[in-house]
Amino acid sequence: MAHVTVEWSANLASDFDLGALLRLIAETMRERADGTFPVGGIRVRGLRTDSYVIADGANPNDGFIDLRVLMGAGRSAEFRRSFFDSLFAEVRDHLGDLFDRRPVALSMYVEEAEGWKHNSIHRRLATTKAI
């Protein structure tokens, strides 16, 4: 499984395409991780933040985009470094010149954990493939 939450400051609403960013992250996990992330376990979501103080609090144009990843334990350190370096570069490149147009802090954190799960999306995917 892999959960990604993209939290972002509301003042960026007109400056990037949240849906496109979420789709890019999910696609990268599906297609560029050698199958490490089972498709049915991918859940990428956006969380808009309306109240914030950034840096010195002096510039209403300062914005942030913060990715938090939670994935199952057991992937090697090499995989994690390589895959998330690539994912972060993809996100940064996708945002393009946003960092030049205004002050923006992009960040990403990755955490591993075991948990409990019950998931009927895998069955839907199997059915979809069979058609």
d(CA 116, CA 38): 15
34 contributes a contact to a copy of itself by CB under 8 A: no
85 contributes a contact to a copy of itself by CB under 8 A: yes
d(CA 130, CA 9): 41
28 contributes a contact to a copy of itself by CB under 8 A: no
Q: Which of 113, 63, 114, 68 is nearest to 88 (CA)?
A: 68
Q: Around 40, how many Cα atoms within 13 Å sit in the side-chain half-sphere? A: 13
12 contributes a contact to a copy of itself by CB under 8 A: no
82 contributes a contact to a copy of itself by CB under 8 A: no
Tokens of 89: 């570069």
Interface residues with a copy of itself (CB under 8 A) are: 1, 3, 7, 9, 18-19, 22-23, 25-27, 30, 39-59, 62, 64, 66, 70, 84-85, 88, 92, 99-100, 102-111, 113, 115-121, 123-125, 128
